[in-house]
Amino acid sequence: MTLKLYYTPGACSLSPHIALREAGVPFDLVKVDLAAKKLEDGGDFFAVNPKGYVPALRLEDGQVLTEGAVIVQYIADLRPDSKLAPKQGTLARVRQQEWLHFIATELHKGFGPINNPKSGPELKQFFRQRLDTRFRTLASALEGREFLGDDGFTVADGYAYYTLRSLRRLDAPALKQSAVLRPYFERIGARPAVRAALEAEGLQ
């Protein structure tokens, strides 16, 4: 069976979508309506992923893998020559996991309280400032380098790219003031695999 990526256009499933294209692994895309928890054919998304969120990746043996930061490493390890992740068991790999965890828990999930209609203006401002600080950490790490790791683009950059797309919508100072975040964002956005993923999801 071909790998199947359950995705929603513009959601964080963009990160494994980019990883699949960068790795050159064959896959099918299955669109999920997150509000209705339905697939395009009317199927129940909870039957695919009981957690009810994207991304989810159906593997060749039928198992379903969830959690974006883990899915992208699985994809990278399918094609070691693509160098989308350092070798397992190295400190470089642990450093990548450190980034993936930071991106998932501090950057990606940092948007939740800001976008939550139940957060009042003061709380939103607090979370905006905190998120801004987190993106400045990303910016500092990128000073003088093209990508987060030492060996070219990796899946951590693909995930960071997704969070920077979300940041763009917030009109955030970190993105406007940092000399490195915008070029990093544009460098990743210009990659053929990234362009192909955006086009397949109907995004710009």
Ligand X SMILES: N[C@@H](CCC(=O)N[C@@H](CS)C(=O)NCC(=O)O)C(=O)O
The residues binding ligand X (CB under 6 A) are 11-12, 34, 52-55, 67-69, 104
Which single residue brings its beta carbon nearest to ligand X? 53
Nearer to ligand X, 67 or 201 (CB): 67
Contact, 142 vs 185, CB < 8 A? Answer: no
Q: Shortest Cβ distance from residue 67 to ligand X (Å)?
A: 5
The tally of CA atoms less than 13 A away on the side-chain side of residue 133 is 6
Contact, 32 vs 54, CB < 8 A? Answer: yes
- CA–CA dist 61, 67 (Å, integer): 18
Q: Shortest Cβ distance from residue 57 to ligand X (Å)?
A: 10
| Residue position matching structure tokens 């060749």 | 60
Q: Shortest Cβ distance from residue 179 to ligand X (Å)?
A: 28
Nearer to ligand X, 43 or 52 (CB): 52
- CA–CA dist 102, 23 (Å, integer): 23
Nearer to ligand X, 33 or 151 (CB): 33
Tokens of 53: 């969120």
- CA–CA dist 6, 105 (Å, integer): 21
Tokens of 10: 């513009």
- Write the CB contacts of 113 (distance below 8 Å, at least 6 apart in sequence): 119, 123, 124, 127
Nearer to ligand X, 50 or 52 (CB): 52
Nearer to ligand X, 55 or 86 (CB): 55
Q: Shortest Cβ distance from residue 32 to ligand X (Å)?
A: 8
Q: Shortest Cβ distance from residue 99 to ligand X (Å)?
A: 14
